[in-house]
Structure 1
């Protein structure tokens, strides 16, 4: 079949491939521990469920404006004021069918054929594919492990060409969990402004930060940066609402209007019931969020210690999200396997532990482990990984 070139060029998701294989093994009766999940393992808080039920009972099941309910936009505006000291109007916000859809729509309206977007490595798997689908060109810049996987001002400056249109920043990051400081964002922002670049700031993990770390939105640093930044966020990770598919973008009114025009022909609107649930999410106290965050922080600290105790594995300790991104280069080198992908596949086959190879994130020496599962499962997974490493060392 002669499919469109734009889809033939897509790279399959390594995360989904591992998840699919793990599911098949589990269904066959194997004791599989899945550390590939990109979602919290907690249920959506009850007050959100009740808001959705109430919306259904009241018949709020019809079309909404393409860019989202005005009431939800107001809740998002209040959230930005409260959490980020940012002021937006309704015309500067669009509600989308998940944060991923916000990113996709943004790239569609921002990029022309050949426009370049700087994408730091490691990256979230969908950034390059979405850029390519928009006929843009992802320009990869390897953020070094010795620099906590963060893009440096010099790297950004050196990567800019006359075709550069935007740079993607993700803080806290998927897959590394690292967090940019205000000073680091100021330095990057200065270069972006100098070259008139758009900043795509993916802040979906902002509520999941541990220790003394603090989330800073680059848009809050100066009015000039706010004008050139499009913030991407949503309720998926913060409120354990991945399946509800509510995300949003905030930024320049002209860009947001173009996004709204596009989605009016693509999805009509995000699900009405999910929008009312998201309103409740932002109007309620954050007690449930904080409880989830405490659980994640405990898991992080324990799993991190278990993993770095394994010989020849090193790991940058994350500041947020719910992933570890250890370096297994030396482990793989000492094994009979040619690549990290092969090593990960055999780990699943032998020890029934599903993790994601770093190749899907542009970093072939690393693997991603999600700690969105119980401490008992994490401890057992660490034991199995250690046993596997020792067997082939």
Structure 2
């Protein structure tokens, strides 16, 4: 009897690089005494107190769920959840009077909507999404799922750990060649941990206006920056005064996952200053009916927080991450000076490049699978392994032999400070052990 036939798309799918290590580790029969997972940005900190209060009191009289009834909200989300996203932006000094907010099931749903909204037809090369390599791997995956074309601006990781953009003239040449529908920028960069400056964002915005493109800002980490006296970098800091024509073509993707420590809540938003785009995006999302209403209620608590409380919370998160990120980077370079480690200016990630350390034909995926499937070293008397994300999937490059991610890894600063302090020794010792047996 013949077997049912899956689609070619399903047949070709492999796990996302950010989930690869965990999936392999789950299959491991004999597990070590301890595992430290920095392969995915699964924040382990408690969420905001106002959100926590609602989460723990869903049966209170003021809760819409007190009688056990859980109904759909409108497709665009509850007014309160929409106001929560606006209140955060307003507290940070941005004008929200012309912004349209659509609440989604996490930033991921927002990514899909934006790709559908700015790119050409499925299966065609028309108006692709332009990204800046390395880019968050989910954008590449969603574009493939939706049959939309992508094109990338290439960055290279220098020996100093910096990922530098090409000249604007080179970027414009790529735009002229491919005629993209929109440019995606992650100012507080995932995966590199680097921070764009507002002037660079302005120059990219000028190209978007000149070539009639949407400017898309993934602002999941907007409040997580570690330079002293740094002003917020955001597409919402741009205006027609400095970039004539930019208003009406801006879209941001927001989330409760990172700054608000609520990854599993799956709360996100698509925010735009183009009312027609928002209207059509909501129409597309009606097939999903609405975002998680309990999540909307919990996140909606932020609609009522003061500017002072919002800013104080954000500073608390910055202070927590900054010290830890700096120490881990210094520890990695101390354990193995030939490593290249990206500079921790923003977000909750760093990239480690081992190209100066390993033997030829090294493959980052093979090392990740080794650590997850069989590798372990003794740290403080405890047999331990480490889960990291290979960077190959963060580059939109078909030729694997030319993929810089072959020797690169992304680490997420999501474990406790005590566990993060073990990462440098753990990574270096596992790498040496792997290379010795290869």
TM-score, normalising length from structure 2? 0.82
Shift of 1:140: 2.3
Equivalent of 2:165 in 146, 151, 157: 151
Could you say which residue in structure 2 is the equivalent of 1:293? 318
Could you say which residue in structure 2 is the equivalent of 1:232? 253
Could you say which residue in structure 1 is the equivalent of 2:196? 180
Equivalent of 1:366 in 380, 390, 408: 408
The answer on whether the counterparts of 1:329 and 1:340 sit within 8 Å (CA) in structure 2 is no
Structure 1: runs of 5 or more not aligned: none
Shift in alpha-carbon separation, 1:95–1:88, aligned structure 2, 3 A: farther
Shift of 1:6: 4.5
The answer on whether the counterparts of 1:356 and 1:369 sit within 8 Å (CA) in structure 2 is yes
The answer on whether the counterparts of 1:112 and 1:134 sit within 8 Å (CA) in structure 2 is no
Matched ranges for 1:241-280 at <5 A: 241-251=262-272, 252-266=274-288, 268-280=289-301
Deviates more, 1:111-120 or 1:381-390: 381-390
TM-superposition CA deviations, 1:233-287 (whole Å, max 9, x none): 1211011011111100111111111111111112x11122211211213533234
Equivalent of 1:377 in 403, 419, 438: 419
In structure 2, C-alpha distance between the alignment counterparts of 1:324 and 1:195, rounded to whole Å? 33
Shift in alpha-carbon separation, 1:226–1:319, aligned structure 2, 3 A: farther
| Count of aligned positions | 389
Shift of 1:26: 9.0
In structure 1, C-alpha distance between the alignment counterparts of 2:180 and 2:54, rounded to whole Å? 44
In structure 2, C-alpha distance between the alignment counterparts of 1:124 and 1:176, rounded to whole Å? 9
Deviates more, 1:104-113 or 1:296-305: 104-113
The answer on whether the counterparts of 2:41 and 2:413 sit within 8 Å (CA) in structure 1 is no
Shift in alpha-carbon separation, 1:100–1:155, aligned structure 2, 3 A: farther
Could you say which residue in structure 1 is the equivalent of 2:182? 166
Could you say which residue in structure 2 is the equivalent of 1:112? 120
In structure 2, C-alpha distance between the alignment counterparts of 1:215 and 1:26, rounded to whole Å? 47
Shift in alpha-carbon separation, 1:132–1:389, aligned structure 2, 3 A: closer
Equivalent of 2:64 in 59, 67, 76: 59
TM-superposition CA deviations, 1:55-99 (whole Å, max 9, x none): 543334321111111122223223222225232446x21010111
Shift in alpha-carbon separation, 1:25–1:154, aligned structure 2, 3 A: farther
Structure 2: runs of 5 or more not aligned: 377-384, 396-404
Equivalent of 1:343 in 350, 367, 378: 367
The answer on whether the counterparts of 1:332 and 1:343 sit within 8 Å (CA) in structure 2 is no
Could you say which residue in structure 2 is the equivalent of 1:191? 207
TM-superposition CA deviations, 1:313-351 (whole Å, max 9, x none): 0112121111110111122236xx631222333344323
The answer on whether the counterparts of 1:239 and 1:281 sit within 8 Å (CA) in structure 2 is no
Shift of 1:34: 1.3
SS, match of residue 130 in structure 2: strand
Larger Rg: 2
Equivalent of 1:354 in 387, 390, 395: 387
Shift of 1:305: 0.2
In structure 2, C-alpha distance between the alignment counterparts of 1:371 and 1:109, rounded to whole Å? 32
Matched ranges for 1:204-223 at <5 A: 204-212=220-228, 213-223=230-240
Query: Which structure shows the bigger proportion of residues in helix conformation?
Result: 1
Moved over 6 A (4+): none
SS, match of residue 325 in structure 1: strand
Deviates more, 1:289-298 or 1:249-258: 289-298
Deviates more, 1:21-30 or 1:368-377: 21-30
SS, match of residue 353 in structure 2: coil
Question: Is it true that 1:132 corresponds to 2:174 in the alignment?
Answer: no
Shift in alpha-carbon separation, 1:24–1:33, aligned structure 2, 3 A: farther
Could you say which residue in structure 2 is the equivalent of 1:306? 331
TM-superposition CA deviations, 1:345-369 (whole Å, max 9, x none): 3344323111111112123331111
SS, match of residue 357 in structure 2: helix
In structure 1, C-alpha distance between the alignment counterparts of 2:157 and 2:304, rounded to whole Å? 39
TM-score, normalising length from structure 1? 0.91
In structure 1, C-alpha distance between the alignment counterparts of 2:358 and 2:22, rounded to whole Å? 22
